[in-house]
Amino acid sequence: MSQTVKKNLRVLLLSVGLAAVLHGVIVPMVGPFAGKLLTDIGMNIILAVSLTMVNGFTGQFSIGHAGFMAVGGYVAGLITYYGAFFLWGSTQLVPGFFSPGVGLFVVACLVGGLVAAALGYLVGLPSLRLRGDYLAIVTLGFGEIIRVVLQQTNDVIFSVDELRRASFATLVTSVGGALGFTGLPFYTTAFWVYVFVALTVVVAYRLKFSSYGRAFLAIRDDELAAEAMGINTTQLKIRAFVLAAFFAGIAGALFAHEIGTTLNPRELGFQKSFDIIIMVVLGGMGSISGAVLAAIVLTLLPEWLRFFAEYRLIVYALVLILMMILRPQGLLGLHELWEQSWWPRRRGKMVSS
Amino acid sequence: MTKLLQTLMDGVSVGSLYALIALGYTMVYGILQFINFAHSDIFMLGAWGAFVIAQCLGLTLPGAHAPLWAAFAALGGAMALCGTMGFVIERAAYRPLRHAPRLNVLITAIGVSLLLENIGQLSFVFGTQPQRMPALFPDTTLCTVLGVQLRLVDCMVMGIAVTLMLGLQWLIFHTRVGRAMRAVSFCPHIAALMGISVDRIVSLTFVIGSMLAAAAGVLYAAKYPGLNQSAHPTWILLGLKAFVAAVVGGIGNVRGAMLGGLLIGVVELFGAAYLSPHLRDLYVFSLLIVMLLWRPQGLLAQHRLEKV
Amino acid sequence: MKHSSRWIIAVSATLLTMACQKAATSSSVGALSPGAAKLSAGANVIRVGEYGSLTGSEATFGQSVHHGVMLATNEQNALGGVKGKKIEIISYDDQGKSQEAGTAATRLITDDKVVALLGEFASSLSIAGGRVAQQYQVPMISPGSTNPQVTEIGDMISRVCFIDPFQGFVMAKFARVDLKADRVALLFDQAQAYSKGLKDNFKESFVKMGGTITSEQAYTGGDQDYSAQLTTIRETHPQAIFIPGYYTDVGNLALQARKLGITVPLLGGDGWDSAKLAEIGGDAIEGGYFSNHYSVGDTSPAVQDFVRRYQASFHALPDSQAALGYDAAKLLFDAIGRAASLSGKDLAAAIAQTKDLHGVTGNITLDDHRNARKPAVVLQMKQGKPTFVTSIAPE
């Protein structure tokens, strides 16, 4: 095996270990509510880091991220709910750490991500050819289309006889409509969330510090110049977009199977997309650790500021505006938390930001 | 036949409102090359502003009857309010970012949009409950053509919208100020060299755009008196459809915005009446996608050279 | 520049740690109960959780329910509580979002350690919170969610109101028998599961009774322009239009319908119940009929007494949400009194066994699916006020 593959594997194994520790030790220690918060943080990290790939690295403005999340969630739900019925005759959760139910769940997450990625390709292909602003509108419109289409669907089928009789087409369209896809088994645990978090962060990191990443950043800085240097900007933009959609789909799948959340078309609209954008902007467009940091802060802040609930969005909006005027690069800009230039030792040799 | 005419009338009526809002988007884009996401909230502010004015005039009390000048007072008041808001927003939030990457301004615009919506939600501002806009125009039918009732409200709405659009047309194409605006939209640097104060023109553009959106808001509230709360997604959706209208007509092109608005209104209403009403938003967005794929510069725009 | 960056990191790290600490160890921080009897937690207190839409577009629902719950609690505490212990209500706002409802329910159960949950009014939110309650085996009573799926979640979930299949039947029977209508058009909110469900139930009942549906049109909540749908409906010449939406849209709909020359009666469900309906709909909504849980004009002494007490505390007439909130709380307290212990299973069993509880919304008996079996009232908007027309009992 080559060096890079070995290095990657080591990192992934380490992350899986950490995720296991988190799930097995820390969550029981802090209690179920804090455990739920940890899971929410993990999902928001995946969303924020994946959006950074599009908004941060390539400088394209996508406001439809929640739409991909919805697609991933619904597809994964179809597999773990109806798929489980066809595989072993029940839609209930199959307990156990490595049970076939969990296996199906992981497969469902990945498939959800792939379908979201495919949709990302379909959406990105026409719109990324055009100027950046158009992508914003198209993605916003796409998110709305997803919402409208999902609202038209029929109720979830609960009874066993109906499940047996239903055709494939019926099943695919019985995802709950406006009420949402209820009844999904609660497979999401801190372990799986953080395994996927690790995957997202590692992929983002490897991407950023590779020739691909440099090309992305070139596109972000000056698209015409990048094109003139021979970079196929459209292709690369599409790739970033598709990758981001993949991870958003996974986050959606995790969201769908979490306890206490319902997959609901109304709530996965542009307001959710805005929430993710705020995280990316706050953390620094193009900074992975920045996105992680912002995701953590912005998931915990509503809980902490519960009594401020009425003013929360006003505060967010003001922070957003002030950030853009005073510190448009966000908390960390393009830098990462671990970069040398932050620490006082190397004061003499700092690279200008 | 009645249905066809009724749908056509409704489509043109709604379309003229979309056109008014689209004008604001297209003017700002023409001058600054940026999509002002907060525009739909100015539209919302216009509607709610008119409601507050009506409240102050005592029109929301039961049994109150609105004199004709009240409608124009509400219109004028709302336009003044939104014009001021547009000016303030431009100065405070967009001007510092005039030379920043476009992404930053877009995000700021989103921030302004969120700010306006949520401040509107506060109990001492507009509150979270829908309100009923008092009837500003007497609810009479002018005449009935082939089974379709022509109401005073609809005529006033279309009349005022057309008047404003013609006024804008005159401003842009037949005055010095209009020439300055066109010059700035063509090339700000050269315009500045020619002695035009770019800052002032930009402010003026925002003010005019906001005033038009305010007018659209008041007229919309006159036609549909149930005002939704300020953070309701319908306001953004309406603004979005108006933006689609601007894109379809050719963004940056004033006549295009008007044409686009009417087109979108008619498409939406006909789709809802003759196809499925469930999917009415879908028709507008599908039209957007078709336009972006086939003719991204819009129906009436000339192709712009992008300078390096 | 570098110094400011480091400052920002330091500040956000501090914020982060503070937030973590707060979130992990807080118990009653953020509790939003303006009228609550806030007592220190101890062995003498029974904690009950409430989650509702105190802000957001359906805020009047949540606020009314909250008032009803608080009235019942204050009355019970004045009588010495239940089994000698005072009741403490911990209330969280879910902003009308199902994710927040789930979080609020989780926090109430795992952090605040409540013995039971009261909430929600909107069905989709009840389902989100209900799944959490069922998972953690904590009983939950919904004051007003009418979608049948809510109690299907499990044996911990019950409700004090009727369900949509019954409500659809009620309005269908009213339309068929009282209004003698054969042809009815439907106009529902496709973005609200409640509206779609009630529409389906009405359709099923009405067709079974021999009626025909002339047209089925949909709008999206918040839409302002219904001309296309109403024009299509007008062409089909119905004798009535059933609009099972929320009051926020119905007023507007009525206005436009009248403008288009549609004069037939409008029918609706309990989503119409709000003082705002008359405010927005004005003359257009005059004469409209809707099914509801109770009538404020009900002359029975129990209801009038309740209306008086509610007005004294909150200076407003109680709507059905307030009355249902009151009844839900009363049912819970009654069950606590009867339960063998406060454990989830025992309390849920006691709740499920509720029979003939005299609530202000009627006599409440819970059936096998833990739904309340009681009659519905049909009200008519007369001079801007809902007035009692008839009461229809389950068959």
Q: In A, which residues are within 8 Å of C21 by CB distance?
A: none
Which one is predicted more confidently, B7 or B2?
Answer: B7
Alpha-carbon dihedral of residues B235, B237, B242, B246, nearest 10 degrees?
A: 130
**Domain C31-162+301-364, CATH:** 3.40.50.2300
Q: Is the bond preceding C120 in cis, omega lying within 30 degrees of 0?
A: yes
C157-159/C212-219 β-pairing: unpaired
**Could you tell me where the beta strands, DSSP code E, fall in B63-126?**
none
pLDDT band for position C203 (cuts 50, 70, 90): very high
Contact C8 A260 (CB under 8 A): no
| Number of domains forming the structure of chain A | 1
As given in the structure block, the two tokens for residue A36 are: 């739920």
Put simply, whether C266 touches A (Cβ < 8 Å) is no
Which residue in B has a C-alpha nearest to residue A131's C-alpha? B296
Which of chain C's residues have a Cβ under 8 Å away from the Cβ of B237?
Answer: 222
B260 or C29, higher pLDDT:
B260
Token representation of residue A309: 């609930």
What is the reported pLDDT for C27?
A: 34
Mean pLDDT of C145-153: 88
pLDDT of residue C21: 46
Mean pLDDT of B207-235: 87
Q: Name the minimum distance, in Å, from the CA of B283 to any CA of chain C.
A: 14
Taking CA–CA distances from C189, the nearest residue in chain A reads A178
Contact B277 C219 (CB under 8 A): yes
Among C228, C255, C260, the residue with its CB nearest the CB of B277 is C228
Q: Residue A63 maps to which CATH number?
A: 1.10.3470
Q: Do B243 and A317 touch (CB under 8 A)?
A: no
Task: Determine the residue of chain B that is closest to C233 in CA distance.
Answer: B273
Domain that holds residue A302: 3-349
To probe the interface with B, which of C93, C195, C223 has the most B CB atoms within 10 Å? C223
- In chain A, residues with a C-beta closer than 8 Å to the C-beta of C19 are 297, 300-301, 303-304
Residue with more model confidence, B178 or B64: B178
Residue B150 pLDDT: 77
Q: Please check whether residue C273 is in contact with residue C386, taking contact to mean a CB–CB distance below 8 angstroms.
A: yes
Query: Among A71-75, B40-44, B295-299, B302-306, where is mean pLDDT lowest?
Result: B302-306
User: By percentage, how much of chain A surpasses pLDDT 70?
Assistant: 93
Q: Which residue of A has its CA nearest to B232?
A: A271
Q: Where is average pLDDT lowest: A335-339, B173-177, B220-224, C27-31?
A: C27-31
Nearest-angstrom CA–CA distance, C191 and A150? 10
pLDDT of residue A131: 67
Neighbours of A162 (CB within 10 A): 11
- C6 contacts chain A (CB < 8 A): yes
CB-CB contact of A243 with A117 (8 Å): yes
In degrees to the nearest 10, what's the CA dihedral of C246, C249, C255, C258? -60
Q: How many residues does chain A have?
A: 353
pLDDT tens string A26-63: 878 888 888 888 899 999 999 999 999 888 888 888 88
- Token pair 């008047």 is found at B163
Phi-psi region of A44 (alpha: psi -120 to 50; beta: other; left: phi over 0): alpha
What pLDDT, on a 0 to 100 scale, did the predictor assign at position C28? 33
- Spacing of C-alpha A212 from chain mean position: 21
Q: Which residues contact A177 (CB under 8 A, 6 or more apart)?
A: A150, A151, A152, A153, A154, A155, C190, C193, C196
User: Is B268 in contact with B14 (CB distance < 8 Å)?
Assistant: yes
User: Residue C137: which residues within 8 A CB-CB, separation 6 or more?
Assistant: C156, C344, C345
Quote the pTM value: 0.84
Q: Which CATH architecture has domain C164-292+378-392?
A: 3-Layer(aba) Sandwich (3.40)
Under the banding of pLDDT at 50, 70 and 90, the label for residue B287 is confident
Please say whether the dihedral angle defined by the alpha carbons of residues C10, C16, C19 and C24, taken in this order, is positive or negative.
negative
Across the interface, which of C111, C131, C190 has its CB nearest the CB of A178?
C190
Q: Across the interface, do A137 and B243 touch by the CB < 8 Å criterion?
A: yes
- What is the 8-class DSSP label of residue A263? B
Determine, for residues C227 and B6 on separate chains, whether the beta-carbon distance falls below 8 Å.
yes
Res. A90 pLDDT band, cuts 50 70 90: confident
Per CATH, C31-162+301-364 and C164-292+378-392 having the same topology is answered yes
Amino acid C282: pLDDT? 82
pLDDT at B149 over 60: yes
DSSP bridge pairs for B145: B148
C228/B273 touch (CB, cutoff 8 Å), yes or no: yes
Facing residue for A260 by CB, picked from C6, C95, C131: C131
**Reported confidence tier of residue C361, pLDDT bands at 50, 70, 90:** confident
- Report the alpha-carbon distance of residue C233 to residue C266 in Å, rounded: 12
Report which of residues A71 and C60 the model is more confident about.
A71
Token code pair at residue C76: 């019970």
Lowest mean pLDDT among A5-14, B63-72, B157-166, C386-395: B63-72
Option in B33, B93, B118 nearest A313 (CB): B118
The 3-state DSSP composition of chain C as helix, strand, coil percent (nearest 5) reads 45, 20, 35
Contact across the interface for A33 and C22, Cβ inside 8 Å: no
* pLDDT value for C38: 37
Rounded CA-CA distance B22/B216 in Å is 10
Shortest alpha-carbon distance between residue C165 and chain B (Å)? 23
Return the half-sphere exposure (C-beta side, CA atoms, 13 A cut-off) of residue B229: 21
Tens of pLDDT along A261-306? 788 888 888 778 888 988 888 888 888 989 999 999 888 877 777 7
Confidence of residue C57 (pLDDT cuts 50, 70, 90): low
Shortest CB distance from C57 goes to which of B128, B278, B281? B128
Question: What domains, with CATH codes, occur in chain B?
Answer: 2-113+132-294 (1.10.3470)
How far is the C-alpha of B152 from the C-alpha of C286, rounded, in Å?
Answer: 23
Q: Is the pLDDT of residue C30 over 50?
A: no
| Nearest chain C Cα distance for residue A94, angstroms | 14
Of C60, C218, C261, the CB nearest to B278: C218
State residue A83's pLDDT score. 84
Q: pLDDT digit string (tens) for C70-104?
A: 999 999 999 988 888 899 999 988 877 888 888 88
The pLDDT assigned to A345 comes to 52
How confident is the model over A191-242, as pLDDT tens digits? 899 999 999 998 998 888 888 888 988 888 888 888 898 888 888 889 999 9
The residue of chain A nearest to residue C127, with distances taken between CA atoms, is A182
pLDDT number for residue A309: 66
Distances (CA, A) of A28 to A23, A93, C28, C133: 8, 21, 21, 19
Per residue in A259-273, pLDDT (tens digit) is 877 888 888 887 788
pLDDT given at position C26: 39
Q: Which residues contact B57 (CB under 8 A, 6 or more apart)?
A: B66, B70, B73, B74
Reported as a pLDDT band with limits 50, 70 and 90, residue B303 is low
Instruction: State the DSSP code for A154.
Output: P
pLDDT digits (tens, 9 = 90+) for A153-197: 877 877 777 777 777 777 778 888 777 888 888 888 888 999 999
Q: CB pairs below 8 Å between A and C: how many?
A: 136
Q: Strand, helix or coil at C184?
A: strand
Q: What is the pLDDT of residue C62?
A: 86
- Amino acid letter for position A215: A
State how far residue C1 is from chain A, nearest Cα, in angstroms: 9
Read off the pLDDT band of B304 (50, 70, 90). low
Contact: C259, B10; criterion CB under 8 Å: no
pLDDT given for residue B33 in this prediction? 82
Q: How many CA atoms lie within 13 A of A34 on its CB side?
A: 18
Which stretches of chain B sit within 8 Å of chain C by CB? Answer: 3, 6-7, 10, 14, 121, 128-132, 139, 149, 151, 220, 224-226, 228-229, 231-234, 237, 269, 272-273, 277-278, 280-281
Q: Which residues contact C15 (CB under 8 A, 6 or more apart)?
A: A297
Q: Residue ranges per domain, chain C?
A: 1-29, 31-162+301-364, 164-292+378-392
Measured distance CA(C187)–CA(B60) in Å, rounded: 29
For an interface test with A, the pick among B37, B98, B292 (most A C-beta atoms closer than 10 Å) comes out as B292
Cα of B217 to nearest chain C Cα, Å: 13
- Bond from prior residue into A223 cis (ω within 30 degrees of 0): no
185-214 in chain C: CB under 8 A from chain A? 190-193, 196-197
